[in-house]
Amino acid sequence: MKRCFIFAAGTFYGLRERPDTEDMVIAADAGILACQGAGIFPDIVLGDFDSTEAPKDGVQVVRLPVEKDDTDTLAAVRAALDHGFDTIYIYGGTGGKRLDHTLANLQTLLFLRRHGARGYLYSEDFIWTVIENESLTVQRTVDWGLFSAFCLGDRAEGVDETGFQYPLRDAVLTPDMPLGVSNHIMEPSAEISVRRGALAVGWELPPL
């Protein structure tokens, strides 16, 4: 597992774990402010720098055009993939005033999965990832911990949820019915699987 930590310009709620020396750290535009607040020196700072100034020295800076298809966060994700990282932690990718960027970052998790990597998106006391045609085991870290699953696409078939308050068996989730919202993890570990389709899944973490 090769880990990359990406700091975006959304709300930074604090670190769940600190990068090790072999990990890469990428700050996407104003994500450099979160790095500085956490006492972390990034390996790369990239962005169009429309929300903060680029560092003057001491770090590799990649300037992106303002008019582009990728968000700064997606550009950081591409850089992580180009460097061979397969586990990507995204901080500052939710919150703030930009729900559109939160939604974009959830889509970015699917982009990562389809490129052979797994991404984790942190909000205040929640973590999100994406599964597609596969299973995922989730550890309960909070009593009565919340768990939600949402369809990313036209439909997700063969959805099983075991170890939850409301189990599912061979269910179909669609984007027009939030059936998977607000479940609870009942067992020390629970499993969600989808036979065909993609799901954004998120579960509660202990408060920092």
162: amino acid identity, one letter: T
| pLDDT mean over 60-79 | 89
pLDDT at 49: 82
pLDDT of residue 56 exceeding 80, the answer is: no
The answer to whether the beta carbons of residues 128 and 199 sit under 8 Å apart is no
Residue with tokens 């990597």: 117
pLDDT at 34: 93
pLDDT of residue 43 exceeding 90, the answer is: yes
- Provide the angle, in degrees to the nearest 10, between the axes of the packed helices 72-82 and 99-113: 20
pLDDT tens, residue by residue, 79-102: 999 999 999 999 999 987 889 999
Kindly indicate the confidence band of residue 78, based on its pLDDT and cuts at 50, 70 and 90: very high
Which distant-in-sequence residues (6+ apart) come within 8 Å of 160 by Cβ? Answer: 167, 168, 169, 170, 171, 191, 192, 193
Collapsing DSSP to helix, strand or coil, 23 comes out as: coil
| pLDDT mean over 116-142 | 97
E strand or H helix that includes residue 82: helix 72-82
- Domains in the chain (CATH in brackets) are 3-124 (3.40.50.10240), 130-204 (2.60.120.320)
pLDDT tens, residue by residue, 138-153: 999 999 999 999 999 9
Q: How many angstroms from the chain centroid is the CA of residue 123?
A: 9
